[in-house]
Chains A and B, each alone.
Chain A
């Protein structure tokens, strides 16, 4: 792989806290290696800012290997930047060239208030899981793991849905700020598995109710969420969410 170095102009959203107003600030970074990750480029900028006696840019990140779901930058108008099925931390600088201007904003959604700069509060996702994103099985209650065979296709589909990292790119990228891909993924995972059966109806009703309460918008089928999802979670999960929701609504009315 050919390596090269580049000078870049960055326009980054700066906001002191959730109460203050924010704005885009312009920074220059020089001699950035194409082998760096995008966040390593931010490390370089922050080291520069600290040395100059300025406030470094706050951004969320932890594992830097695309799995914890903490990193969350809106880069040149795309959640997690230009690469497909990729997180911000796995984006590498060979995606850019010398002289580029890169605009970096936080996730923007009513349900994700800004903490500082590029850091947002995604605790709404935890509260949605609290509403029903689990199987009620206390430790020690389980039967032998092979007691219930599960169709490989169902198990594989459940896994594909469970691969969601809870980063919130789907919400950030949706013009309605909808969380239905996130909710659909969890509802699907548990609806596809026999273990999820007993709570199937209450789960979907409660999770959707919490999703609405948090202020997330509705789905209007633009599929932007699927296009930007770093884990390639399919919108088929939203279809399954809708179908589970309707079925649950009907059957609870009968009861």
Chain B
């Protein structure tokens, strides 16, 4: 099947307006007859379910958590971008578009990114109207800060809990539609397969995670808003339950998987402390606004950071990238940290960490505060006290979190940080309308591949999730459903539903019947180690080939020796996890295959074979300016399809943040 991205003709800044002006509509009476399934209730899912419910569609929404409010969007800290230019600092839709395409290292589709930048402003309006309490200035207007990879202040935020506040806004809109009867909510339910009839998505098989019973649900269309797959690495900043299962089932039913190897390693996370570690915690990128990152200039320096004088510190980001300094994009900052640690300059007991230091910021803010209140020659300790208060207000919850996890006081001693897996730019391939290669099956938010290319800029994930759900899918889905108004709801005793449920049931029984010796968790950890070592921050042909072999062997071992306790028809979290890990193992293989195919470095994908003299990622636009869309061909077999990327506006150049 040839890939058609269905990008509208016309000038870049007119495409979306023209599309909306000509797209097919569904009249209100027909909307009431059309059923839409939404899987996942994070920013993309909750906003889509609420918006489609408001339009009058009959929506069923599913989440595996006990409430839609718990989806992992809730954990996003720093902020959400929008091209409002409230700060009068030169921002515009074009700049946001340009920064995002460049930040993605020229591996994103321009038309999608432009639309994202266009609708970004409406998102902020919508959220404020819902009662999202964004940070404000004393004049009562909204406050902004800056994030990596940009030189303007366009990030809106609510302390370090922006994701929480945006999700609660979308959740409340969703619950309002539940109350009105437009959305039916299924919590503690997990989607375990897509049901296709005549090649078209017509529903899902879901498992009630409390009773363990399988259920069949019909939909004229199915939306997957199921987030990313960073947990393939075992350790990541994702929630414990975040998984690829829904996307992977869709992939096996014919949805192509786009750029699976594009993973974001976030530079500022709390380092691993031991083998017991179950997840990693992010320290928001917003901390790089004010914090300075450094390592000692001397190798294996075991002195306490307080005892290392200023001229013996290497502020390596400021040194290497004077134009952007500590605010270089995430991929660049992560690799720079790894480079210093690999060279022996790392700090802390494991030596796999760098310092994020707030001392200068505290003193700087303190002097401003002292100046405001007219103090003359205040002592350092007074200045420090005043500055600490400012930092507390801006980042207090993050500092507290750091203290709880590490037992150290970050106001007094610099934080230790190290990169960790955070986000996956890859995901189900979608066209301009967010439709996958299976008609009637859509992917929104992090679950799709579309907007961030090979590296996502900070504060852009929340923007994309809400853009897709509030402002894109309500238009594009109509274009599909307008042709489906004559299709009555299909009863779920249709043979396709019976077959799909049988296959799901057999797989569960097979998993439960293995009764081997090793726990699900132990397999997941081993997979994570292979992925991190060989498909993590640096990748090579040799390592990837080894990883593929190791993953294949691990898969065999999993299916012959995993031990899952409990029963099928009961609440059984180990069984839920086993199904997810089985899918992660298959995905891991595809990620390595994709990373091996892409013999260039771009964004978060760093092939050791392809770097500049000073160690920066070296793209190969002649051979790799494409989206890799993988088609599942059978067990461990894939075919590669390429969607060529044509840059009309932003001309690819070597990214420079110097």
- Among B134, B210, B241, B405, the residue within 8 A (CB) of A115 is B210
Q: Please, how many angstroms separate the alpha-carbon atoms of A194 and B196 in the complex? A: 47
- Flag if A43 contacts B573 (CB, 8 Å): no
Chain A residues, Cβ within 8 Å of B50: 139
- Flag if B404 contacts A158 (CB, 8 Å): no
Chain A residues, Cβ within 8 Å of B239: 62-64, 68
What 0/1 readout, one digit per residue, does chain B (61-73) give for beta carbons within 8 Å of chain A?
A: 0000111111010
Chain A residues, Cβ within 8 Å of B570: 17, 116
Q: Kindly state whether residue B279 has any CB partner on chain A within 8 Å.
A: yes
Q: Kindly state whether residue B165 has any CB partner on chain A within 8 Å.
A: yes
Q: Kindly state whether residue A223 has any CB partner on chain B within 8 Å.
A: no
Q: Kindly state whether residue B460 has any CB partner on chain A within 8 Å.
A: no
What 0/1 readout, one digit per residue, does chain B (236-254) give for beta carbons within 8 Å of chain A?
A: 0101110000000000000
Q: Kindly state whether residue B299 has any CB partner on chain A within 8 Å.
A: no
- Among B51, B124, B470, B471, the residue within 8 A (CB) of A145 is B124
- Flag if A62 contacts B240 (CB, 8 Å): yes
- Among A39, A60, A121, A162, the residue within 8 A (CB) of B165 is A162
Stretch in contact with the other chain, from A122-130, A212-220, A236-244:
A122-130
- Flag if B241 contacts A142 (CB, 8 Å): no
- Flag if B131 contacts A135 (CB, 8 Å): yes
Q: Please, how many angstroms separate the alpha-carbon atoms of A152 and B574 in the complex? A: 47
Stretch in contact with the other chain, from A30-38, A96-104, A170-178, A245-253:
A30-38
Q: Please, how many angstroms separate the alpha-carbon atoms of A205 and B248 in the complex? A: 45
Q: Kindly state whether residue B654 has any CB partner on chain A within 8 Å.
A: no
- Flag if B66 contacts A143 (CB, 8 Å): no
- Flag if A64 contacts B70 (CB, 8 Å): no
Chain A residues, Cβ within 8 Å of B566: 55-56
Quick one: closest A residue to B273, CB to CB? A35
Quick one: closest A residue to B187, CB to CB? A123
- Among B172, B273, B276, B281, the residue within 8 A (CB) of A134 is B172
Minimum CB–CB distance for A19 against chain B, Å: 12
Q: A62-B241, A67-B164, A92-B407 are in contact. Are A33 and B129 (CB under 8 A)?
A: no
Minimum CB–CB distance for A36 against chain B, Å: 5
- Among A17, A64, A189, the residue within 8 A (CB) of B571 is A17
Minimum CB–CB distance for A133 against chain B, Å: 6
Q: Kindly state whether residue B504 has any CB partner on chain A within 8 Å.
A: no
Q: A40-B276, A136-B176, A190-B131 are in contact. Are A60 and B66 (CB under 8 A)?
A: yes
- Flag if B519 contacts A51 (CB, 8 Å): yes
Q: Please, how many angstroms separate the alpha-carbon atoms of A66 and B397 in the complex? A: 10
Stretch in contact with the other chain, from B139-147, B333-341, B628-636:
B139-147
Q: A68-B75, A123-B187 are in contact. Are A159 and B142 (CB under 8 A)?
A: no
* Docked complex: B60-111 residues within 8 A CB-CB of A: 65-70, 72, 74-75, 84, 86
Chain A residues, Cβ within 8 Å of B574: 50, 56
* Docked complex: A67-124 residues within 8 A CB-CB of B: 67-70, 83, 85-86, 90, 92, 94, 115-116, 119, 121-123
Q: Please, how many angstroms separate the alpha-carbon atoms of A98 and B18 in the complex? A: 68
* Docked complex: B341-363 residues within 8 A CB-CB of A: none
* Docked complex: B509-541 residues within 8 A CB-CB of A: 519, 521-522
Q: A83-B404, A142-B125, A159-B165 are in contact. Are A134 and B75 (CB under 8 A)?
A: no
- Flag if B519 contacts A65 (CB, 8 Å): no
Q: Kindly state whether residue A221 has any CB partner on chain B within 8 Å.
A: no
Chain A residues, Cβ within 8 Å of B240: 61-64
Report, as a range, how many residues of chain B touch the other chain: 35 or more
Q: A53-B565, A146-B141, A149-B140 are in contact. Are A65 and B274 (CB under 8 A)?
A: no
- Among A1, A60, A69, the residue within 8 A (CB) of B406 is A1
Chain B residues, Cβ within 8 Å of A141: 129
* Docked complex: A136-179 residues within 8 A CB-CB of B: 136-146, 148-152, 155-156, 158-159, 162-163, 165-166
Q: A92-B404, A196-B131 are in contact. Are A62 and B176 (CB under 8 A)?
A: no
Chain B residues, Cβ within 8 Å of A50: 519, 563, 565, 574
Q: Kindly state whether residue B130 has any CB partner on chain A within 8 Å.
A: yes
- Among B74, B86, B133, B274, the residue within 8 A (CB) of A158 is B133
Q: Kindly state whether residue B401 has any CB partner on chain A within 8 Å.
A: yes
Q: Kindly state whether residue A44 has any CB partner on chain B within 8 Å.
A: yes
Q: Please, how many angstroms separate the alpha-carbon atoms of A61 and B65 in the complex? A: 9
Q: Please, how many angstroms separate the alpha-carbon atoms of A39 and B405 in the complex? A: 13
Minimum CB–CB distance for B469 against chain A, Å: 9
- Flag if A152 contacts B133 (CB, 8 Å): no
Minimum CB–CB distance for A59 against chain B, Å: 9
Q: Please, how many angstroms separate the alpha-carbon atoms of A60 and B505 in the complex? A: 25
Q: Kindly state whether residue A25 has any CB partner on chain B within 8 Å.
A: no
Q: Kindly state whether residue B261 has any CB partner on chain A within 8 Å.
A: no
Quick one: closest A residue to B70, CB to CB? A68
* Docked complex: A12-54 residues within 8 A CB-CB of B: 17, 33, 35-37, 39-40, 43-44, 47, 49-51, 53-54
Minimum CB–CB distance for A129 against chain B, Å: 5
Quick one: closest B residue to A72, CB to CB? B66
Q: Please, how many angstroms separate the alpha-carbon atoms of A171 and B138 in the complex? A: 36
What 0/1 readout, one digit per residue, does chain B (31-61) give for beta carbons within 8 Å of chain A?
A: 0000000000000000100110010000000
Chain A residues, Cβ within 8 Å of B65: 62, 68, 70
Chain A residues, Cβ within 8 Å of B484: none
Q: Kindly state whether residue A193 has any CB partner on chain B within 8 Å.
A: yes
Minimum CB–CB distance for A194 against chain B, Å: 10
Q: Kindly state whether residue B637 has any CB partner on chain A within 8 Å.
A: no
Report which residue of B67, B161, B282, B574 has the largest number of chain A beta carbons within 10 angstroms of its beta carbon: B67
Q: Kindly state whether residue A202 has any CB partner on chain B within 8 Å.
A: no
Q: Please, how many angstroms separate the alpha-carbon atoms of A77 and B125 in the complex? A: 44
- Flag if B72 contacts A68 (CB, 8 Å): yes
Minimum CB–CB distance for A228 against chain B, Å: 16
Chain B residues, Cβ within 8 Å of A155: 133-136, 140
Using A1-B407, A68-B74 as known contacts, list a sample of 17 further A-B pairs with CB atoms less than 8 Å apart, ordered by residue number in A: A17-B570, A37-B278, A37-B405, A40-B276, A40-B277, A60-B66, A62-B240, A63-B239, A68-B239, A119-B571, A126-B68, A126-B175, A130-B178, A139-B470, A143-B129, A150-B136, A155-B133
| A interface with B by C-beta (< 8 Å) | 1, 17, 33, 35-37, 39-40, 43-44, 47, 49-51, 53-56, 58, 60-70, 83, 85-86, 90, 92, 94, 115-116, 119, 121-123, 125-126, 129-131, 133-146, 148-152, 155-156, 158-159, 162-163, 165-166, 189-190, 193, 195-196
Q: Provide a sorted-by-A list of 12 A–B residue pairs whose CB atoms are within 8 angstroms.
A: A47-B522, A62-B65, A90-B401, A115-B571, A139-B50, A139-B173, A155-B135, A155-B140, A159-B133, A162-B158, A166-B69, A195-B128
